[in-house]
Chains A and B, each alone.
Chain A
């Protein structure tokens, strides 16, 4: 079982480590981790959100990703949409988390992606749902964090 364990300990036994401790242990979903692979034309963010819902994970943290996109659609901090044309836009960094409890349009607001276009030029921003289809493949390492 891969889980973080949260258990409340009674204050009355803090100093007596040999006493029987009556604890409630909740096995939470936190800490589960997966290796994912998405195939061509699967949307990166749409796929992550669907996967999170399937697994009952409200938040998924990105451990890392290596892959390529047909094209990338990023949103800058000023709200400007950046389109990076491919095919073969390389994902060179993916960090942050998605949160399925957020309103539509904001579920991926916590993600940051860095990509390189076919000339090696680097672009970064928040990946827009529906705008980042996989080109060849992506290897994704993700962790459930809530």
Chain B
């Protein structure tokens, strides 16, 4: 439309445009999320011992009794191409039909980035960026298996990106493999 400037990133493009780190090994395991457990707390519990490795968690058919999510919106300040407003909360029985969570590691613990889609009580599907601390498994449900894929030898580190104005998870090779062991949470 005439007069409207399309949204854009605040900073100049950074190179390279693609980053790839090959893992030493791919391992896969299953962890159980317990009734009443919060999704991100579960992920921190499971991945807290993945010292220096990147992980991807795949959620499927997790019954929830509360879900909090962010929907992207344009940033009126144009400091970023988009931003997340306050979390929308669904305080009702719903289901995380599918979701994927990438796990990065910092000195303060795991950094989690999760997208998924919910089936609301009405049957409608609603897909979003899940809000940390706001998604709770139904307390009366049975434990649900979550598949966890771990790529050993690669870290996902949050790095501030001047091009987008966000702190983003970026793959970094682990150079020290001397203490290479994968300790799974109990």
Number of interface residues of B (CB under 8 A): 52
Query: Does B128 contact A120, Cβ atoms closer than 8 Å?
Result: yes
Query: Does A87 contact B81, Cβ atoms closer than 8 Å?
Result: yes
In the complex, chain B residues 4-37 whose Cβ is within 8 Å of any chain A Cβ: 7, 9, 13-14, 17-26
Partner of B71, one of A2, A67, A120, A139: A120
The smallest beta-carbon distance between B90 and chain A, in angstroms, is 11
Which one of B41-49, B131-139, B160-168 contacts A? Answer: B160-168
Query: Does A37 contact B115, Cβ atoms closer than 8 Å?
Result: no
Partner of B20, one of A31, A34, A64: A34
The smallest beta-carbon distance between B73 and chain A, in angstroms, is 7
Which one of A5-13, A17-25, A75-83, A110-118 contacts B? Answer: A110-118
Bound complex: CA of A139 vs CA of B24, how far in Å? 18
Query: Does A35 contact B23, Cβ atoms closer than 8 Å?
Result: yes
Query: Does B164 contact A137, Cβ atoms closer than 8 Å?
Result: yes
In the complex formed, the residue of A with least CB distance to B22 is A34
The smallest beta-carbon distance between B116 and chain A, in angstroms, is 6
Query: Does B13 contact A39, Cβ atoms closer than 8 Å?
Result: yes
Bound complex: CA of A33 vs CA of B69, how far in Å? 31
Bound complex: CA of A47 vs CA of B16, how far in Å? 12
Size category of the A interface is 35 or more
**Does chain A have a CB within 8 A of B143?**
no
Cβ of A37: which chain B residues have Cβ within 8 Å of it?
18-20, 168-171
Query: Does A93 contact B164, Cβ atoms closer than 8 Å?
Result: no
Render A40-74 as a binary contact track against B, CB cut-off 8 A, 1 for contact. 11100001001100000000000111111000000
Cβ of B125: which chain A residues have Cβ within 8 Å of it?
121-122
Cβ of A119: which chain B residues have Cβ within 8 Å of it?
71
Query: Does B26 contact A33, Cβ atoms closer than 8 Å?
Result: yes
Cβ of B62: which chain A residues have Cβ within 8 Å of it?
none
Query: Does B101 contact A35, Cβ atoms closer than 8 Å?
Result: no
In the complex, chain A residues 117-137 whose Cβ is within 8 Å of any chain B Cβ: 118-122, 135-137
In the complex formed, the residue of A with least CB distance to B53 is A35
List 14 interface pairs A-B (beta carbons < 8 Å), by A numbering: A31-B26, A37-B168, A38-B18, A39-B19, A41-B13, A63-B26, A66-B113, A87-B74, A88-B82, A90-B115, A92-B128, A135-B81, A136-B82, A137-B164
Across the A-B interface, the 7 shortest Cβ-Cβ residue pairs: A116-B127, A88-B72, A64-B56, A33-B26, A35-B171, A122-B125, A88-B82
Task: Given contact pairs A40-B13, A116-B128, enumerate 11 new A-B contacts (beta carbons under 8 Å).
Answer: A34-B21, A35-B20, A39-B13, A88-B82, A92-B115, A92-B116, A92-B117, A116-B127, A122-B126, A139-B156, A141-B151
